Amino acid sequence: MTRVVGLMSGTSYDGIDVAAADLAFDGSEIVLHPLGALGYPLDPGIRELVGAALPPAQTSMADACRLDTVLGQAFGEAAARGAEELADGRADLVVSHGQTLFHWIDDGRARGTLQLGQPAWIAERTGLPVVSDLRSRDITRGGQGAPLVSILDVLLLPPGPTARAALNLGGIANLTLVRPDGDVLAYDLGPANALVDLACRRYFGRPYDVDGEIAASGSVSEKLLAALLDEPYFRRSPPKSTGKELFHGGYLDAALLGVPDLAPDDIVATVTELTARLVATECGTHRVGELIVSGGGVRNGWLMRRIRELARAGDAAVRIRPIDDLGLPSDGKEAYAFALLGFLTFHGVTGTVPACTGADTATVLGSITPGHSPLRLPEPPGVVPTRLRIEPPVARGSKA
């Protein structure tokens, strides 16, 4: 049994999601025992620095260096808290996604990716080995470096009589599809919380739309929605990935040029509707029968209502439920997914699904920074895992 602390900070950059789990191989299965999850808020000063460095803003190498350090220190504190509060001070490994500053896409192909949050600070603070930089290796094999969470989805969702899909509503919405014949596909749909949060900060001085109240009070502008949907990314075939280097304030501003007098609540309603329609369209295209939803967007009641209404308006009803029903908390899914990815790397097991990222082969992901003790890696398992089983946590005193 390996006790792992996973760290994730998404495109909303409002805090660090921390999750701890006991993981073990059991034949062709991986068994994951969730130990708990928590949120570690980022200092407002750090959030301001991140926001000032994100596209389309310009930054300097000096600022990038400062960000790498202060984010690394913040991730170190978050990891230390997770190791103590969630893992009883007995964690074996930390896995850090870092904070994405740029995901370089050129002519539809990922060329590079940059996540800051120096892992040496995490290793020094916790004394534990740290797996980081998990996206780059997939890109070297021709992949998008995303969505990496798809491996958790594919291992967790066996094929069913109809297509099953896992939807994560973070800053960006991404979808993993498992068809009845076992074929899989994963890709980023487009913006989810990113544009909603941006509009709420800009027009209402709020970090996000609590339960979708602002969107529910507004009216959808079909003209603005059409301008937003005119983005060529939506017409590209998967696998594909994106981020705030495309879906930022400039994207919204360009679409607003044609509707300059739109009320703020109508803008929030429209960018919320954008996400709902993207999701419903993909569910219809792939004839999805079951949709498992996770991410911060699950807390947006109006967004979830619109997804349900639109997805169920097609030829076949879509059963929609949160990933909590399968044993993982909606808010903590990505942190648990990165704990899983780091566990695989630590044991020398590939962590990508080429059909999902577009890579030509699966690879062992990431880099490992040693902790205070000499680095000793376990032997790889004799059987390649094909399923993920989630079970209640074992007694804290019985760690193997």
**pLDDT number for residue 108:** 87
Looking at the fold, whether 371 and 223 belong to one and the same domain comes out as: no
Answer yes or no: do 16 and 44 share one domain. yes
Band (pLDDT 50/70/90 cuts) for residue 312 is: confident
User: Tens of pLDDT along 164-184?
Assistant: 999 999 999 999 999 999 999
Name the residue type at position 136.
S
The reply to whether 179 falls in a domain is yes
How far, CA to CA in Å, does 92 sit from each of 75, 88, 375?
16, 11, 11
Residue recorded with tokens 């978050």:
78
Check if the beta carbon of residue 11 is closer than 8 Å to that of residue 367: no
179-213 in b/e form (b: 16+ CB < 10 A) is beeeebbbbbbbbbbbbbbbbbeeeeeeebbeebe
Q: Are residues 86 and 231 in the same domain?
A: no
Note whether residue 395 is domain-resident.
no
Query: Does residue 324 fall inside a structural domain?
Result: no
Is 14 annotated in a binding site? The answer is yes
Residue 363 counted as domain residue: yes
pLDDT at residue 399 is higher than 50: no
Q: Which residue has the tokens 């060529």?
A: 232
Is there a single domain that holds both residue 57 and residue 143? yes
Count of structural domains within the chain: 2
SS3 45: helix
Query: Is 368 in the same domain as 231?
Result: no
Which one of 317, 348, 375 terminates a domain? 317
Which residue stretches of 29-166 are H helix?
44-53, 61-85, 119-126, 136-140, 150-156
Verify that 92 and 134 share a domain, yes or no: yes
Token pair, residue 328, equals 């993982």
Query: Mind giving me the DSSP string for 256-290?
Result: HTTSTT--HHHHHHHHHHHHHHHHHHHHHHTTEEE
pLDDT for res 396: 52
Q: Which tokens go with 5?
A: 């602390």
Of 285, 317, 349, the domain-final residue: 317
Nearest 5 degrees, angle CA 236-CA 239-CA 242? 70
For residue 42, the model assigns a pLDDT of 94
Q: Is 17 annotated as a binding residue?
A: yes
Q: Say if residue 351 carries a ligand binding annotation.
A: no
pTM of the model: 0.93
Residues 131 and 26 in one domain: yes
Same domain flag for 170 and 137: no
230 is in an annotated binding site: no
Annotated ligand binding at 203? The verdict is no
pLDDT reported for residue 229: 98
Kindly state whether residue 399 falls inside one of the protein's structural domains.
Answer: no
- 148, 188 Cβ separation under 8 angstroms: no
Is 16 annotated to bind a ligand? Reply is: yes
| Cα–Cα distance, 109 to 242 (Å, whole number) | 10
Q: Are residues 78 and 211 in the same domain?
A: no
Cα-to-chain-centroid distance, residue 387? 20
Tell me, yes or no, whether 313 and 168 share the same domain: yes
Q: Quick one: average pLDDT of 12-26?
A: 94
Domain extent at residue 219: 159-317
CATH number at residue 304: 3.30.420.40
Q: Is residue 327 part of a domain?
A: no
For residue range 43-67, list pLDDT tens digits in order. 999 999 999 998 888 999 999 999 9
Q: How far apart are CA 153 and CA 147, in angstroms?
A: 10
390 with 34: CB under 8 angstroms? yes
pLDDT digits (tens, 9 = 90+) for 21-47: 999 999 999 999 999 999 999 999 999
Whether residue 397 lies inside any domain: the answer is: no
Is 13 assigned a ligand-binding role in the annotation? yes
* 265 and 337 part of one domain: no
How many C-beta atoms lie closer than 10 Å to residue 373's C-beta?
9
- Of 264, 293, 317, the last residue of a domain is 317
Q: What is the pLDDT of residue 244?
A: 87
Q: Which CA distances in Å does 358 have to 93, 134, 234, 275?
A: 28, 15, 17, 24
N-terminal to C-terminal alpha carbon distance within the chain = 5
Q: SS3 of 292, please?
A: strand
Inside any domain, residue 267: yes
58 and 109 co-located in one domain: yes
Find out whether 241 is annotated in a ligand binding site.
no
Contact 189, 233 (CB under 8 A): no
**What is Dmax (Cα atoms) for the chain?**
63
